[in-house]
Structure 1
Amino acid sequence: MIALIFLDPWLHTPMYFLLSQLSLMDLMFISTTVPKMAYNFLSDQKSISFLGCGIQSFFFVTMAGSEGLILASMVYDRFVAICHPLHYPIRMSKRICLKLIIGTWILGSINSLAHTMYALHLPYCRSRAINHFYCDIPVMLPLACVDTWVNEYMVFVSTSLFLLVPFLGITASYGRVLLAVFHMHSKEGRRKAFTTCSTHITVVIFYYAPFVYTYIWSRSLRSPGEDQNLTIFDTILTPMLNPIIYSLRNKEILGAMRRVCGMFSSRKK
């Protein structure tokens, strides 16, 4: 998806620029967890260094936080395009789009760095065995030999903010979008708007459901096995499904695929 958006000039718009960032985050999601996870499954050495655990946790939490913000930015783009089409070139200029993207990466990185540094500076005197597929803050804290309620509270608050604030923005924007679509006279315009919105809503649900369950839902109400099953969905299936969901019913993406394939085939000749 990233290469397709880069190669096809027709996709050089704010909407697809934001989509390329979502695809980049999904790629980094998989790259952060899956290689080590696969190595552990295939080998007898199921270990990771303390520093490696911190690095893996940092990148995972960064991607998790930044992706929610980029999804909210994508909804804002659709909100402006549908509800304020005449103001779209001003409200979603390349400069504003770039600021949104840089802001999502910076906020996600700062939040992740704070939690990772706190977790790495805790004394760990219990078992070093993590009952999980990868290093993550909620599974590292129970191994500390001090009371971690402050850290757990900080994780809960920051996760709630990173989930709740974008979710409120997404909900409010889609409420306005649905009202605008309902009053459209053009059936083709209404169909196109519903297709775009339904695709994005599906991706939003796939993103929010696992994180709400993992970070906000009480650990006493779920088993480690449930966490691990959800991890497979969250870290592997969701990043793989996102590009497929966006391309299946998107005529512009399908058209770009044909143009790029035609460009490479003509070069070979």
Structure 2
Amino acid sequence: MPYDKRMCPGRCNQPYRDAVDFYDQAVIAYEEARAAWRFPLRYPAKPVPPAPPDVRLYLGDPVWHPGCAQRIHAALRELDDLASQAQAEVDGHRDAGARYGRTGVTAKTHAGSPSPVTDLLDQLYGDLIAVEDPWRRARGYQARPQRTRGGSARRASIAFLLDELDLILEDPWSVDFGRSVLAWQHRLRALTKSDPAARRSPIRCPRCKEVARLWLQDDGYYKCGTCEKLMSQSEHDRELFEQSEQEAHTS
């Protein structure tokens, strides 16, 4: 069963994709069982075909469902804060290591290999300008000003993309970009998981209804600090989307 081409490519349709995949596997199993059903005395129950999936499908408008577009906006806005926090932690450790030795006196600095975090943030900037540059050309804008890679350049690129994001997300080309933004958010949140603000979820616990009491644990599960309910990442993301959608409809 092919996916509906009109569907939003975001996480809102993960239950739909899972249901379609499960249905496809069930159809294969049914066809195999029907082919083997040749001896009624041995196999009296005739195989029953599976029912088509009955899961809500969220359509793109025109590409992304509004709830997922809102999530991409929020994720892109958060990227610079997460990146700045990751870099600040690296710089802090580097400064501490350069200034203090085992005896507490000033230690000599030695040239070492580049920081993996710095390399990662450089990769983030590369991904951002890989979208900014072709979008500027497509819209007939002035070419991106030459910038020295670093925090200022990253912030300038994110600011430009945020200003253009509504238009970008209307283009079919934005599917990879939207997924990349969400992936970077997840990656940087994991990198900065020592920060309590990055580990706390803003959603309402579906069991006890308390707000902002779900915390990301080291095992990847969210746990409610009030009722101790556990939620996987996919369950959390689904609940986040549904609550965001409800708030959008009631506001």
TM over 0.5: no
Q: TM-score if structure 1 supplies the norm length?
A: 0.29
Scaled by the length of structure 2, what TM-score is found? 0.31
Max Rg structure: 2
